[in-house]
Structure 1
Amino acid sequence: MSEHDFQIEVLERMARIDAQLKEAMDSLHKLEEQFQETQKLAIVADQRGRSAHHRINGMYIIAGIIGSVVSFVVDWFRH
């Protein structure tokens, strides 16, 4: 193999490596965008979950108050 052939082979390999690197970088950018979108969705889901738990806790409080009032009324009429 002559020096000229060696140089051509090295340049071809470097060009292939460069193309692969560009493809990898494009894939990385796409994954970063998907991660950011997923992160936004996770934040929204967390907020909705917290809101739902807050409403459920409020319903438990109201149910407890109603139960206490009913218990008091029933106890009042027993005596």
Structure 2
Amino acid sequence: MKDNAMAMQIPQVSQLPIPAATPAEQAAIAALVQTILDAKAADPAADTAAPEAAVDAAVAALYGVALPAAAAVAG
């Protein structure tokens, strides 16, 4: 650890719970992310709150967590 930062090494990373997303779920999230990237490329100040919230909701759903609970974990 340096400056109170934790190092992520293979043994720790391999224990992280990564949900399996279906190809359709992956495509939906990828499309949302592409929407955000395209908007920011066209205008760095673009409001991407809606697609970002949709990504958050989709990822929370993969983990089986309701969005209000996910928001509480996020801080």
TM-score computed with the length of structure 2 as normaliser: 0.30
Which has the larger share of helix? 1
Greater Cα radius of gyration, structure 1 or 2:
1
TM-score computed with the length of structure 1 as normaliser: 0.29
